[in-house]
Amino acid sequence: MSEERIQRTVAESQSERSEIIFPADANSLGNLFGGRLMQYIDLVGAMAASRHARAITVTAAMEHLDFVAPVRVGDLLILKASVNRAFRTSMEVGVKAMVEDVQAQELRHVSSAYLTYVAVDSEGNHLVVPELVPETEHQKRRYEDAGRRRELRKAETLRKRELRSALPQGWYI
């Protein structure tokens, strides 16, 4: 039996956060640690996913993470997240991070990533999420691309699962 699912637009869940980079988050070259940037990416991605699902979400995967250019101490970092596609209980979210040069009024692309979140209730049970309605040309392209990435990911996820259940826990050298 097919289930009735409500629909939400991309705009309803688009999310943004900004950070000024301090020395405590940088390496000895004065560049932001990659791990800290990943944290910001995950947080803004979770905001968009949770707004779309109107539920708690957990990160299932972070993929295609590119560090395009370094982020320096003192930079104004801006991150924007959009749900690219909602599947059944999972959603793919795209995050783009830019540094804003406030004097020159220019933006510099520093990082991008795709993340998958799963909506859960307070007991951790998976929840069916609303369908996503792409409206603009860019949203429609991202929606199609997310479907292609899911197909590519399926075989790899299956293989990793089989390996995990076949091999005993531990390190393999």
Ligand X SMILES: CC(C)(COP(=O)(O)OP(=O)(O)OC[C@H]1O[C@@H](n2cnc3c(N)ncnc32)[C@H](O)[C@@H]1OP(=O)(O)O)[C@@H](O)C(=O)NCCC(=O)NCCS
Q: List residues near ligand X by CB under 6 A.
A: 58-61, 87-90, 116, 118, 126, 153, 157
Shortest reach from residue 100's CB to ligand X, in Å: 29
β-sheet bridge partners, residue 108: 99
Shortest reach from residue 91's CB to ligand X, in Å: 8
Cβ-based neighbour number of residue 134 at 10 Å: 19
- Which residue has the CB atom at the shortest distance from ligand X? 87
* Residue among 51 and 153 whose Cβ is closer to ligand X: 153
User: What is the Cα–Cα distance from 49 to 58, expressed in whole angstroms?
Assistant: 9
State both tokens at 78.
Answer: 């801006």
State both tokens at 116.
Answer: 């998958």
User: What is the Cα–Cα distance from 28 to 37, expressed in whole angstroms?
Assistant: 16
Shortest reach from residue 85's CB to ligand X, in Å: 9
* Residue among 112 and 157 whose Cβ is closer to ligand X: 157
Shortest reach from residue 119's CB to ligand X, in Å: 9
* Residue among 60 and 73 whose Cβ is closer to ligand X: 60
* Residue among 16 and 121 whose Cβ is closer to ligand X: 121
State both tokens at 128.
Answer: 């069916």
User: What is the Cα–Cα distance from 60 to 146, expressed in whole angstroms?
Assistant: 15
β-sheet bridge partners, residue 118: 58, 90
* Residue among 75 and 92 whose Cβ is closer to ligand X: 92
Shortest reach from residue 86's CB to ligand X, in Å: 8
DSSP state of 88: S
